[in-house]
Structure 1
């Protein structure tokens, strides 16, 4: 996994007069991902058998692939402060708590934009000490009520810490048939409850590591992404070759994140409480999934339409660097090359924050973009090419010969049957059977056989 971080170079100007953000890209910070599965229940011999498992992931720093120092600071929005500000306004109606928060933030010189290292943002985490203080104050003011859960383990904020050295699931997938590899349930749920319509809450597709065999170009390929609480889909673009193997390239549908005005089926991803969440083409709101003001897009807002809320200096969308695609061997349904790329953005609403910052506009700020990439090795490609692809190509090449041979065998079988009939049934067959054979001869025998006038022998 490669992660690129956006550094805000004009945070003070934005807070002062809503100047468009000016960004510089840092990275990549590269990590090797080791994954595995813990099987809970193996499939039985039945038509719709399923397999249940936990997914495991472990990320380790790839020093050779990393450009930059993990401990170097950069400036971005302080996500915990942003989340805490919204959480207190939505869930805690307490004048004393409000006053305490303002006092602590002022005392600590806290502002909406902070310096943070890449290590803290990605995996190490940054402890939010104000939450410890708030908890102590809450217990004094409300001794009989537990402090509300803000969703941060150990009061520590990090984008990927909760995803590292962790089991996810359980997942249940179909083990055979036309739905092989497709999810049946997640956490025991047959559908989700995060979105605002049945269609958007469907758990649809595979995990993207394989698909049912004999992939059809005309059909969408769905992938369920638990971290997004939704399924995404890919459409066929073109045929490509990788190490001598023909593959189907499926790309993420460019219209997948367009507004509900252009794509009514996206309406159920829109919160009824916030109409702005579905009015920008190219980004989608993940707040209902993550319980945080995070919006999803392609890197550098690729395929997004111009909008004042995402207008940002320092971005250069490029499909060759930022597009998402799967290159799939169609007979087996296996992706042999993949580039999965997304960008996490933060929604900043027009409001006055506990830090004293008074934001006068709505903006969406790019935070990071990340890339999962993989490609079959030269050695494995050679094994696949020799043992699978060539066999399939051979069968395809000689398919007409096989068909002609089969047809000839059918002709021979008819001829032998006809000859046998004349041997055993010249006069002693029933009238009904002879009538049937006569009718059959009229359709098949005449174009193929003829009798000699001099003899009763078949030529």
Structure 2
């Protein structure tokens, strides 16, 4: 978890107001987020997932979360879809049909997000496919019309609920006036950075969300998920604490969850890939031996003259055709 202790606040009224609102938010509001704790110590789910016994490409796909097959709080079947996995299990990647998008369900924000394919990569001396979060994943409705159903009017009286590029309201999800974004509003609108002068510096290396997938097994070799949670401060002249506060989004904290294969697991993965390579070689070798044996047998039979001509059956009928005799009522044909 990262708090905003790198921002110079001086005597800005926004800091004291945000501090009071943050305390109120976490004490009184029904708002909970998983702060990047280890997966085996975090209560999340239960999930219902596809085992991939009928279609391996559906391995790990989420069918339901906490008994729900869609996130109804968005009021739209498209935005409520449970796409992808929980990122712990993924199907192998077919090199001939590499998916352009990798979907992951994020329970903290009650929706599925996707990372876009960047290309092939190499990690730990192993081949991988590299995906990173797309700019359109948290795009405004003007940039990505499909995101319009994430706009909910009930969260703010100031607008229709559709926010700027790179942010989304969590009011329908968490029941609190919280706005999600990437850390330091990375991939967000430039307007968001103007609220905190000089305090926010989006950096791809520090604030990006990405994942490396080993194609043969679908194992996540390395991945990082990052989110920032903000609150909206509004200028309300009738409230003393808010009369001098400009309206805008105030960053409260951002969280980071990451995983990377250990050295021992990398070695096990390398060993598994080597054995699978041997199996593939043996498979094609057996196919080649089978074809060679068939061709060799055919050549031997041809050279030895062992093919027998079946005798003609007594019940067989043959027609002897002679030029110019067929049209004569059948005189040119002979039956025996």
What TM-score do the two structures reach when normalised by structure 1?
0.57
Note closer, same or farther for the CA distance 1:266–1:381 as it changes in structure 2 (3 Å cut): same
Residue 87 of structure 1 is matched in structure 2 by none
- Equivalenced residue count is 302
1 CA distance for matches of 2:268 and 2:298? 44
Identify, as 1 or 2, the structure richer in strand. 1
1:266 aligns with 2:265: no
1 CA distance for matches of 2:115 and 2:277? 26
1:290 aligns with 2:171: no
2 CA distance for matches of 1:346 and 1:263? 23
Are the counterparts in 2 of residues 325 and 340 from structure 1 also a CA contact under 8 Å? Answer: yes
Unaligned regions of 5+ residues in structure 1, if any? 16-20, 22-73, 84-124, 132-149, 153-157, 432-459
1:304 aligns with 2:188: yes
What SS does the aligned partner of 2:254 have? strand
1:280 aligns with 2:174: no
1:237 offset after TM fit, Å?
A: 1.1
Q: How does 1:16-415 map to 2 (within 5 A)?
A: 76-79=18-21, 128=27, 150-151=29-30, 167-176=43-52, 177=55, 178-215=57-94, 216-273=97-154, 274=156, 275=159, 277-307=161-191, 311-312=195-196, 313-351=198-236, 356-358=241-243, 361-386=246-271, 388-394=272-278, 405=289, 407-412=291-296, 415=299
What SS does the aligned partner of 1:256 have? helix
1:239 offset after TM fit, Å?
A: 2.3
What SS does the aligned partner of 1:332 have? coil
Are the counterparts in 2 of residues 261 and 279 from structure 1 also a CA contact under 8 Å? Answer: no
Are the counterparts in 1 of residues 233 and 245 from structure 2 also a CA contact under 8 Å? Answer: no
Instruction: Tell me how large the CA RMSD over aligned residues is.
Output: 3.5
Q: How does 1:379-458 map to 2 (within 5 A)?
A: 379-386=264-271, 388-394=272-278, 405=289, 407-412=291-296, 415=299, 419=302, 423-428=306-311
2 CA distance for matches of 1:391 and 1:429? 56
1:5 aligns with 2:3: yes
Residue 327 of structure 2 is matched in structure 1 by none
- Render the CA deviation track for 1:242-301: whole Å, top value 9, x for unaligned: 222111111111221111101111111111445454341111222211111211111111
Are the counterparts in 1 of residues 235 and 242 from structure 2 also a CA contact under 8 Å? Answer: no
Are the counterparts in 1 of residues 33 and 108 from structure 2 also a CA contact under 8 Å? Answer: no
Unaligned regions of 5+ residues in structure 2, if any? 315-336
